Amino acid sequence: MESHLDYHAHNNGFREVNTTFKVLFAVSTLIICVASPSPIIPLFVFILIPTLLIFKAKIPYKFYFKFISIPLLFALITFLYMGLFFGSTDIMVQLGSLGPLDLVIYRDGVQIGFLVFSRMLGAFSCLVFLAFTTPMTELFSIFHRVHIPPIIVELSMLMYRFIFLFLDEAEKMHQSQKTRLGYSDWKNSLRCLGMLGGNLFIRTWFQGEKLHMAMESRGYNGTLKAMNEIEFPGSKNIILLVSFELLLLAGIYLSLNFPVI
Amino acid sequence: MHIMEGFLPWQWCLFWYLVAIPVVVYGVIQIKKITDKNPESKPLLAVSGAFMFVLSSLKLPSVTGSCSHPTGNGLGAILFGPAVVSVLATITLVFQALLLAHGGITTLGANIFSMGIVGPFCAWLIYKGCKNMGISISIAVFLAATFGDLLTYVTTAIQLSLAFPIPTFSESLIKFMIIFAYTQLPLALAEGLLTVVIFDYIKKLRPDILTQLGVMLKTKAPDVVGGK
């Protein structure tokens, strides 16, 4: 799944759009969603971003919905949970009890649950936008730009390089364990997974040693040099961005007292 | 247990960032010292970080039937020491947020605090304590990983109930704790067992790696070989 995401990050309709612009768009929209006191604007973002991704960036809609299904489910559970257990006034429904907990749905619990639910939807849409349109390698140059210590950027770059290799390796080991009757019951699964983890660690260690040798033989002296040129987004984009965010803020102001539930 | 993007109100996002940053900065300084002293440790730290990411993406067989994934923080803390793990966990959390929409950028501070700081530090302290008391290494690893996990969940529960003290902080905390006790306790035990299996496997096959780690990180990682 991750490798697919990486593929889309490199091949989408927004690939050529300025990286700083995309990051600024995602982050500022994200902050507005999280700080929004009303659920309308985050829900609007939740609809706007897939529209952009599917119709403009040409991300296959199946892939998009598969990707968001897990966070979506989680957000839904949170909503139900907050609706069931939170709140103190104005009882909507009395459902009985579960152990020491009373199952009562309060109006204010549902309201705050729905607000948090909408914020989560809006906020993770922004993250997904960034994940689908911007390759990680370009984000690293942004990290560099915002003065994250070079050692951290370097570690992240190396880690990123290895994550996909190790995921592959783990998958292969998992398959071969399964063909040899691994994971047959709970105890066996635990043993197999332990072996997989242990073996993975040993192999990763080898890889690290090899990497060091490879880097050293190519003149590595403690720092990785990479082209980190970031272009200014251009005044047209900046105006577009600022006016969009201002529109969102105006939307929040207008929908402040809009009754949802 | 990641707190999802958008879950925390912005005041709490800011607060947890402010709490987490000094510890991560301390970790960065430690890593810088280690890599300055021996440059070959940098690629090794990187692959270790990647290992932690991959470990956390494996499915953990859980007793309750629901599948979840290990955090890998207990193992990381035992192998590399808590300061280094706090940095590796931070990078891992950023990747999880950006690649899997798991966790988030605004909740990053809170997640770093629970999963990258409290969990590993507790695991490390328990491991050290057990070793000093002369308890066998397997039990020490088990206790460290299990309680590291549990305390991560407790921290998350506290963070959530601080953010949503409805009707009061303590009532909210009790509710979160009950939910977590049902879902996370079996996971913590499973992760504890898993960590023991992994640790024993590495110790049996390549004890030299563990020695090398102890040398590389000096006092930062406990001397794992030659214990009981």
pLDDT tens figures, B138-167:
899 999 999 988 888 889 889 988 888 877
Per-residue pLDDT of A87-105, as tens digits, reads 666 666 666 666 666 667 7
Taking the alpha carbons at both ends of chain B, their separation in whole angstroms is: 33
- The answer for B 89-148 residues in CB contact with A (under 8 A) is 91-92, 94-95, 97-102, 104-106
Tokens linked to B130: 């057990």
3-state SS, residue A229 = coil
- Beta strand pairing status for A101-106 and A91-98? antiparallel
Q: In the predicted model, is pLDDT for residue B225 greater than 60?
A: no
CB B94 within 8 A of CB A158: no
Query: What residues pair up with A106 in beta bridges, in sequence order?
Result: A91
Is residue B73 packed enough to be buried (19+ CB in 10 Å), middle (13-18) or exposed (0-12)? buried
Q: In the predicted model, is pLDDT for residue B228 greater than 60?
A: no
- B33 vs A: CB within 8 A: no
Per-residue pLDDT of A184-237, as tens digits, reads 888 888 888 888 888 888 888 888 888 888 888 988 776 777 666 667 778 888
- How many domains in chain B? 1
Q: Which of B6, B94, B206 sits opposite A202 (nearest CB)?
A: B206
A141 vs B213 pLDDT, higher one: A141
Report residue A118 CA to chain centroid gap: 16
- B18 vs A: CB within 8 A: no
Tell if the CB–CB gap between B198 and A139 is shorter than 8 Å.
no
Smallest CA–CA distance from B176 into chain A, residue: A85
**Which sequence spans correspond to the domains of chain A?**
2-134+231-254, 147-217
pLDDT value, residue A136: 85
Q: Which residues on chain A are in Cβ contact (under 8 Å) with B91?
A: 152, 155-156, 159
- The answer for A 180-199 residues in CB contact with B (under 8 A) is 183, 186, 189-191, 193-199
pLDDT value, residue A11: 83
- The answer for B 53-92 residues in CB contact with A (under 8 A) is 53-55, 57-58, 60-61, 63, 75, 87-88, 91-92
- The answer for B 37-56 residues in CB contact with A (under 8 A) is 39-40, 42-51, 53-55
Tell if the CB–CB gap between A152 and B87 is shorter than 8 Å.
yes
pLDDT value, residue A103: 65
Q: What is the 3-state secondary structure (H, E, C) of chain B?
A: CCCCCCCCCHHHHHHHHHHHHHHHHHHHHHHHHHHHHCCCHHHHHHHHHHHHHHHHHCCECCCCCCCECCCCHHHHHHHHCHHHHHHHHHHHHHHHHHHHCCCCCCCHHHHHHHHHHHHHHHHHHHHHHHHHCCCCHHHHHHHHHHHHHHHHHHHHHHHHHHHCCCCCHHHHHHHHHHHHHHHHHHHHHHHHHHHHHHHHHHHHHCHHHHHHHHHHCHHHCCCCCCCC
Q: In the predicted model, is pLDDT for residue B57 greater than 80?
A: no
pLDDT value, residue A8: 81
Per-residue pLDDT of A133-169, as tens digits, reads 888 888 888 888 888 888 888 889 888 888 888 888 8
Domain contains B75: yes
Domain contains B57: yes
Tell if the CB–CB gap between A127 and B101 is shorter than 8 Å.
yes
Distance separating alpha carbons of residues B83 and B33, to the nearest angstrom: 12
Distance separating alpha carbons of residues B221 and B219, to the nearest angstrom: 5
Distance separating alpha carbons of residues B160 and A63, to the nearest angstrom: 31
Enclosing domain of residue B90: 10-220
**Which residues, 6+ apart, have CB-to-CB distance to A48 below 8 Å?**
A125
Work out the percent of chain B whose per-residue pLDDT is above 70: 88
Work out the percent of chain B whose per-residue pLDDT is above 90: 21
pLDDT value, residue B66: 45
Domain contains B1: no
Residue B75: give its domain's CATH number: 1.10.1760.20
Confidence of residue B222 (pLDDT cuts 50, 70, 90): very low
Domain contains B97: yes
Tell if the CB–CB gap between A120 and B35 is shorter than 8 Å.
no
